[in-house]
A = this chain, B = another copy of it.
Amino acid sequence: MVRVKDLRWKKDMRVSELVDSYEHVGFQSVELQRASDVIIKMKKDSAKIFLTFTSNMVTSGLRGFFAQLIELGIADVIVTTVGGLEEDIMKATGEVFRIGDFQTDDVELHEQGINRVGNLLIQNESYMNFEDLITDILGKLYEKQKRWTVSGMLREIGLLLEDSQSILYQAAKNDVPIFCPAITDGAFGFHLYLFQQDHPDFMVDVVKDFGNILYATSYDDRKGVIALGGSISKHHAILSTLLNGGAEYAVYMTTAHRTSGSMSGANTSEAKSWGKVKDESDVATVIGDVSITFPLAMIRALDELDSEGLLKN
């Protein structure tokens, strides 16, 4: 059995050293080190990796980190929600988001045309610029074909962006499909609707895209899931692994607890009852803010995978 060992500072400690030491500290630090280990194992075992995250994480500075992970070959399938994709596009086209406060005068922000996501701020102007852009993009897509799957549409958009820190760009460039099961749940949905009003034969085929996520991996593949936050992003990935015999590896990072029975708080143990992850799988659930915990677990994994030559160049 692993012993508790005293954590000790030394000058210029590396992230990997700190996460190594977490193994012996206790509480969530132990789970975080385990999560990092599970990520290393899934990659070394050549598992197909589903990376899922929620929209607010793309609002944050994790956005470029996700793009980098795709570039480095960590993720094979992305599942997320549409709000984040809109913001990835905004950032790719030069929009600047700012750091604010959780406690603020929201009526005043509203008057200033500023929208708040926790302690992050997005200007109305960024949405307006997005809207100009997306109408144009939809026109181009429509010229190519009338009926699109969501993942197909997102790939095309990614190819139009010129930003190496964009999730959509890196995913398109690296042939990593992005699934977004509720594509209409955002400004994007509104513009799809307006476009369809003018072009009634324009169709988004979400049903066909279910086949695409289903065949993105197979029953025979070893599979891993890294689910950040909850929402349908998480559920859609593990529904897909369930239908393919269950994942061998799973890391859940979330602020939600199991006690309300929500998907956000469902842990990797509960996933075993469904067969979403296999009975004998390697799993870890870390409770905490993903903006802190995920970089920690991932940086150690990247350092290790890089040493083993397992990152894509």
Question: Chain A interface (Cβ within 8 Å of chain B)?
Answer: 1-9, 11-16, 18, 21-32, 54-56, 59-65, 67-68, 72, 81, 83, 91, 96-100, 102-104, 106-107, 109-110, 114-121, 165, 181-186, 189-190, 192-193, 196-197, 202-211, 214, 229-232, 235-236, 239, 243, 255-266, 269-275, 279, 287-293, 295-296, 298-299, 302-303, 306
Contacts A106-B269, A207-B189; is A32 near B116 (CB within 8 Å)?
Answer: no
Which B residues are in CB contact (< 8 Å) with A205?
203-204
B262 in contact with A56 (CB, 8 Å) = yes
How far, in angstroms, from A211 to B211 measured CA to CA in the complex?
A: 26
Task: Report the bound CA distance from A9 to B261 in whole Å.
Answer: 23
Distance to closest chain B CB from A227 (angstroms):
13
Rank and list the top 10 A-B pairs by shortest CB-CB distance, nearest first: A6-B64, A118-B261, A26-B60, A28-B289, A25-B61, A182-B182, A29-B291, A106-B272, A4-B97, A2-B99
A104 to chain B, nearest CB (A): 8
Set of chain B residues within 8 Å of A190, measured between Cβ atoms:
210, 214, 239, 243
Complex: A274 Cα to B187 Cα, angstroms: 12
> Shortest distance in angstroms between A305's beta carbon and chain B's nearest beta carbon?
11
How far does the Cβ of A185 sit from chain B's closest Cβ, in whole Å? 5
Alpha-carbon distance between A176 and B287 when the two chains are bound, in angstroms:
34
Residue contact B4 to A59, C-beta cutoff 8 Å: yes
Seed contacts A26-B120, A193-B211; 12 additional CB < 8 Å A-B pairs: A2-B98, A6-B67, A14-B14, A29-B61, A103-B103, A118-B260, A193-B208, A193-B214, A196-B207, A203-B207, A255-B262, A262-B264
CB pair A257 B259 closer than 8 Å: yes
**Min CB–CB distance A19 → chain B (angstroms):** 10
Total copies of the chain: 4
A236 to B193, CA, bound (A): 14
Q: Which residues of B contact A287 (CB under 8 A)?
A: 257, 259-260, 289
Across-interface contacts of A55 in B (CB, < 8 A): 263
- Min CB distance, A195 to chain B, in Å? 8
Shortest distance from the beta carbon of A272 to any chain B beta carbon, whole Å: 4
Contacts of A270 on B, CB cut-off 8 Å? Answer: 106, 116-118
* CB-CB nearest in chain B for A120: B26
Knowing A67-B6, A120-B26, A289-B29, the reply to whether A295 touches B260 (Cβ < 8 A) is no
Asked if A264 contacts B230 (CB within 8 A), the reply is yes
A7-B62, A110-B273, A207-B196 given; A26·B68 CB < 8 A: no
Q: A64-B6, A261-B59 are in contact. Are A296 and B210 (CB under 8 A)?
A: no
In the complex, A271 Cα to B4 Cα: how many Å?
Answer: 21
Choice from B14, B21, B104, B197 contacting A12 with Cβ under 8 Å: B14
Measured between alpha carbons, how far is A243 from B68 in the docked complex, in Å?
A: 34
Contacts of A257 in B (CB 8 A): 255, 257, 259, 287
Give the residue of B3, B9, B96, B104 whose beta carbon is less than 8 angstroms from that of A65.
B9
CB proximity of A207 to chain B, nearest CB, Å:
5
Quote the shortest CB–CB distance from A87 to chain B (angstroms).
10
